[in-house]
């Protein structure tokens, strides 16, 4: 990581080899076998997040986020996120990529500390200008912005007062949201409040492998409640502004199936599905926490968050869509000794998240059907789905031949079509991610565009050309 930083220090911006890769359109044969077509206004997009691509961690008045603080603590991460893909300087060519990928939507996140370095107070105009320009460029290319307000990079100053464990955070978040709504106005088609609040609350405050690195279940449950409250307050603020766009939230769901047919394993899988699935979605869409899980925590003697009068009403302010991040299905088994999560063990897989995901599109189908039923045909946008392959390389022809990613994406797109045909109100599909980028402590290769992590050169992969063509003509497995 040091050599990369030194390289960037010594290289002038113009000398960086940032040109796009050699087109490999020739490598994309059209496949007449099976061509799947979607409704005309269906969203096909790619997704990124600020901390994972922007870099410029302290540029132009940006404040310190919890991820900046965390990654600068020795041994917390393998790779620093200070520069990432240097999108803060290279954004123009990255937006050009969107055009070449033919996408009609682009999901990205705003870095809270670029707008409010301290989390609140005076706005940093240079930060505002950066996102305005991205929105303008997206518009110019006919790409609809899907903008997340919180993709994990909380201002450190707000962490110093307790982070999401402090109820005041809900107000700080909704003030920041309100500022963004009124500043960026109708230029944003879709707003997302939080990305994967489960990860924020549980990885940050219970498992402790994400900042702030706290390991206390009650604190994680408190963080849950304040994340939800902040979400609801932001949605309410949005409604009051009467803007044209839509607003929702993105939740993460992996599907769980039992390893055996034993009742205890089947029950364990159900418990896990009930944990991930309704813990955040029920309060938002049904106005209450799932009773089974609430009581389960209580039965363990855990101090539960205080729900003040009116909280659930705010949290359940109607949203326009539910964002769904799906990557994989897990096999699980009952484990009476492991109290969390819910007396269940997730079995070790040959691939782990952010390495090579499995290929289980059926899990996506089950989740879509469940959500559709439980939440009364809520419009759903798949805001993340993608495949990591650390072996993606630019070959001698200047191409990245990533057939496995094409197979993965195709299989999931097929499932989307089936779900729509079966009545699910699915309105969009988004690949994670635009380009290989920073993966919360390390690099990973989930992009439709290859990033050379030393030179930062971008090269569209075969899957990128394939996706572009599918959006235009319909998807088929002709690689």
Catalytic residues: 196, 384
* SS3 track for 148-209: EEECCCCEHHHHCCCHHHCCHHHHHHHHHHHHHHHHHHHHCCEEEEEECHHHHHHHHHHHCC
Say if residue 30 is exposed, middle or buried (CB neighbours under 10 Å; 0-12, 13-18, 19+): exposed
* Residue whose CB is less far from ligand BGC, 406 or 431: 431
**Chain residues 28-87 in contact with ligand BGC, contact rule CB under 6 A:** 49, 52
* Residue whose CB is less far from ligand BGC, 237 or 382: 382
CA-wise closest residue to 435 among 461, 413, 410: 461
Is position 330 an interface residue for ligand BGC (rule: CB under 6 A)? no
* Least CB distance to ligand BGC at residue 469 (A): 25
Candidate residues 108, 181, 429, 432; the one interacting with ligand BGC per rule CB under 6 A: 432
CA-wise closest residue to 382 among 420, 330, 439: 420
Is position 353 an interface residue for ligand BGC (rule: CB under 6 A)? yes
* Residue whose CB is less far from ligand BGC, 334 or 453: 453
Calculate the alpha carbon distances from 391 to 294, 357, 450 in Å.
43, 13, 11
Question: 107 and 192 in contact (C-beta within 8 Å)?
Answer: yes
* Least CB distance to ligand BGC at residue 353 (A): 6
* Least CB distance to ligand BGC at residue 47 (A): 8
The alpha carbon of residue 418 and the mean position of all alpha carbons in its chain are separated, in whole angstroms, by: 24
Is position 439 an interface residue for ligand BGC (rule: CB under 6 A)? yes
* Least CB distance to ligand BGC at residue 260 (A): 28
* Residue whose CB is less far from ligand BGC, 49 or 175: 49
* Residue whose CB is less far from ligand BGC, 252 or 330: 252
Say if residue 218 is exposed, middle or buried (CB neighbours under 10 Å; 0-12, 13-18, 19+): middle
Is position 344 an interface residue for ligand BGC (rule: CB under 6 A)? no
Longest Cα–Cα distance in the chain:
64
Is position 325 an interface residue for ligand BGC (rule: CB under 6 A)? yes
Strand 458-460 versus strand 449-451 pairing type = antiparallel
Q: Give the x-and-dash track for 369-398 against ligand BGC (CB under 6 A).
A: ---------------x--------------
* Least CB distance to ligand BGC at residue 325 (A): 6
Is position 252 an interface residue for ligand BGC (rule: CB under 6 A)? yes
Instruction: Compute how many residues bind ligand BGC; rule: CB under 6 A.
Output: 11
Chain residue at closest Cβ approach to ligand BGC? 354
CA-wise closest residue to 143 among 180, 178, 94: 94
* Least CB distance to ligand BGC at residue 286 (A): 24
* Least CB distance to ligand BGC at residue 49 (A): 5
* Least CB distance to ligand BGC at residue 239 (A): 26
Q: Give the x-and-dash track for 176-195 against ligand BGC (CB under 6 A).
A: -------------------x
320-333 b/e with 16+ CB inside 10 Å = b? bbbbbbbbbbbbbb
Question: 163 and 169 in contact (C-beta within 8 Å)?
Answer: yes
* Residue whose CB is less far from ligand BGC, 273 or 325: 325
Candidate residues 196, 372, 389, 436; the one interacting with ligand BGC per rule CB under 6 A: 196
477 SS3 class: coil
- Polymer length in residues for the chain: 479
* Residue whose CB is less far from ligand BGC, 49 or 159: 49
Is position 153 an interface residue for ligand BGC (rule: CB under 6 A)? no
Rounded Cα–Cα distance for residues 82 and 63 (Å): 13
Rounded Cα–Cα distance for residues 62 and 293 (Å): 39
Q: Residues interacting with ligand BGC, by CB under 6 A?
A: 49, 52, 195-196, 252, 325, 353-354, 384, 432, 439
């Amino acid at each position: 990581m040091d050599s990369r930083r030194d390289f960037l220090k010594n290289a002038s911006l113009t000398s960086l080899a940032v040109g796009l890769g050699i087109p490999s359109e020739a490598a994309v044969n059209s496949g007449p076998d099976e061509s799947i077509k979607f409704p005309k206004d269906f969203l096909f997009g790619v997704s990124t997040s600020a901390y994972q691509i922007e870099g410029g961690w302290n540029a132009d008045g940006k404040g310190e986020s919890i991820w900046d603080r965390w990654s600068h603590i020795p041994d917390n991460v393998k790779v620093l996120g200070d520069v990432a893909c240097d999108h803060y300087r290279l954004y123009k060519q990255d937006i050009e990529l969107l055009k070449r990928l033919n996408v009609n939507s682009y999901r990205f996140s705003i870095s809270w500390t670029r707008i409010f370095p301290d989390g609140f107070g005076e706005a940093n105009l240079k930060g505002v200008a950066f996102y305005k320009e991205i929105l303008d460029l997206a518009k110019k290319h006919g790409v609809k912005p899907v903008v997340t307000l919180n993709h994990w990079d909380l201002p450190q100053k707000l962490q110093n007062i307790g982070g999401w464990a402090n109820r005041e955070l809900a107000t700080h978040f909704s003030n920041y949201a309100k500022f963004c709504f009124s500043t960026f106005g109708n230029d944003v088609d879709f707003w997302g409040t939080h990305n994967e609040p489960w990860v924020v609350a549980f990885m940050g405050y219970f498992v402790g492998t994400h900042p702030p690195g706290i390991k206390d279940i009650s604190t994680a449950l408190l963080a849950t409640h304040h994340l939800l409250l902040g979400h609801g307050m932001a949605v309410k603020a949005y409604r009051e502004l009467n803007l044209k766009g839509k607003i929702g939230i993105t939740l993460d769901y992996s599907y769980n199936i039992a390893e055996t047919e034993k009742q205890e394993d089947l029950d364990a899988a159900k418990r896990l599905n009930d944990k991930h699935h309704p813990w955040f979605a029920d309060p938002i869409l049904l106005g209450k926490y799932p009773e089974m899980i609430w009581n389960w925590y209580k039965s363990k003697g855990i101090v539960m968050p205080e729900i003040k009068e009116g909280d659930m009403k705010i949290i359940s302010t109607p949203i326009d869509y539910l964002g769904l991040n799906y990557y994989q299905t897990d096999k699980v088994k009952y484990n009476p000794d492991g109290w969390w999560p819910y007396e269940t063990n997730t079995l070790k897989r040959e691939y782990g998240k952010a390495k090579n995901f499995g290929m289980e599109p059926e899990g996506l189908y089950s989740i879509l059907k469940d959500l559709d039923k439980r939440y009364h045909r809520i419009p759903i946008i798949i805001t993340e789905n993608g495949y990591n392959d650390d072996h993606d390389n630019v070959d001698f022809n200047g191409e990245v031949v990533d057939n496995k990613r094409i197979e993965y994406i195709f299989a999931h797109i097929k499932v989307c079509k089936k779900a729509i045909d079966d009545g699910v109100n699915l309105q969009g599909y988004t690949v994670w991610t635009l380009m290989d980028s920073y993966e919360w402590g390390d690099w990973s290769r989930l992009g439709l565009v290859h990033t050379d992590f030393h030179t930062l050169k971008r090269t569209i992969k075969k899957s990128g050309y394939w996706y572009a063509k599918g959006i235009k003509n319909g998807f088929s497995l002709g690689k």
